[in-house]
Amino acid sequence: MIKAFVLLIFLFLYAPIVYVVASSFLDNGELTTKWFSKLFEDRVVINSFYNSLSLALLATLFSVIFGTLAAYAFLRTNMRLESLFYTPIVIPEITEALSLLLFYKIVSFPLGFYSVLIGHIAFNIAFVFVIVKARLSTHLKLVEEASLTLGANEIQTFFRVTVPMAMPGIVAGSLIAFTLSWDNFVKTVFTTGPGFQTLPLLIWSQAARGVVSPSLNALTTLMLLTSFILAYLYVRISIRRE
């Protein structure tokens, strides 16, 4: 009975996803890939893809740099403000997005690529911080002290000892940050401006107008595939790290 109930839950959750993926490969009941070909001929889709990719890459880069340095600083100094980094994870994303929008309005910051990028970085830093801190929290000071005792200076210790220790966490944090930025909708729709559109916004705008074409299903399939691959890599790296 319990197994059947769990199976029904999974069916309810994943049946729509399976339907969308299947529809992207069908044309009047026949298997085809023409919807993907038409997708890459659409200039709007190409521009949205470029916006999403550049946004995710830059957000990941800055999130990893700031999140890693913050985790290292907290472990070295034993600061007591660690809970501030958990705020973006705990509070509802729509609350954070609205707060960012109000802040941009107060300071008259133009809405567009950079406003969205700042929002993604502010959100992703927390996840990178938690992951890297968990990786470095074991024997960091002991290993660094051993390196200094053996003759290395602080800079050599950081790059030759600390960074290699943190690398599995940095890679895992990069994957989760890229995934969160790649398919983020709520924060993007609140902080974007005219002329800047990402893939999630493109999908939403077409679906909201009732334009659910097979090409849109193909685009959704590619988004799902990218997210699943990144999530799988994150899980594999996390397991290996443990």
Report the alpha-carbon distance of residue 167 to residue 241 in Å, rounded. 10
By DSSP bridging, strand 30-31 and strand 26-27 are antiparallel
- The rounded distance, in Å, linking the Cα atoms of 80 and 210 is 50
Q: Judging by beta carbons within 10 Å of its beta carbon (0-12, 13-18, 19+), is residue 114 exposed, middle or buried?
A: middle
Region 165-193: mean pLDDT is: 89
pLDDT of 235 higher than 80: no
DSSP assignment of 142-156 = HHHHHHHHTT--HHH
Say how far apart CA 9 and CA 7 lie, in whole Å: 5
pLDDT surpassing 70 at residue 241: no
Tokens for 208, please give them: 């909201």
Distance of CA 216 to the CA centre of its chain: 22
Q: Which of 3-7, 64-68, 78-82, 98-102 has the lowest mean pLDDT?
A: 78-82
Q: What is the pLDDT of residue 121?
A: 94
Q: What is the CATH superfamily name and number for domain 14-241?
A: MetI-like (1.10.3720.10)
Considering the chain, what is the average pLDDT of its residues?
85
Tokens, residue 97: 């997005």
Residues 63-86 pLDDT 10s:
999 999 988 888 877 666 777 788
CA distances (Å), origin 19, targets 37, 44, 179, 197, 220: 20, 25, 23, 26, 11
Average pLDDT over residues 88-96: 87
pLDDT recorded at residue 240: 60
Distances (CA, A) of 102 to 63, 92, 106, 108, 190: 22, 16, 6, 10, 10
The confidence score (pLDDT) of residue 37 equals 84
Domain ranges of the chain: 14-241
d(CA 24, CA 235): 27
Which of 111-120, 147-156, 170-179 shows the lowest per-residue confidence on average (mean pLDDT)? Answer: 147-156
pLDDT for res 162: 82
**Residue 12 burial by Cβ neighbours in a 10 Å radius (0-12, 13-18, 19+):** exposed
Amino acid at residue number 168: P
CB 213 within 8 A of CB 141: no
Question: CA triplet 189, 195, 198: central angle to 5 degrees?
Answer: 45
Tokens in use for 159? Answer: 């790059």
Residue 121 contacts residue 59 (beta carbons within 8 Å): yes
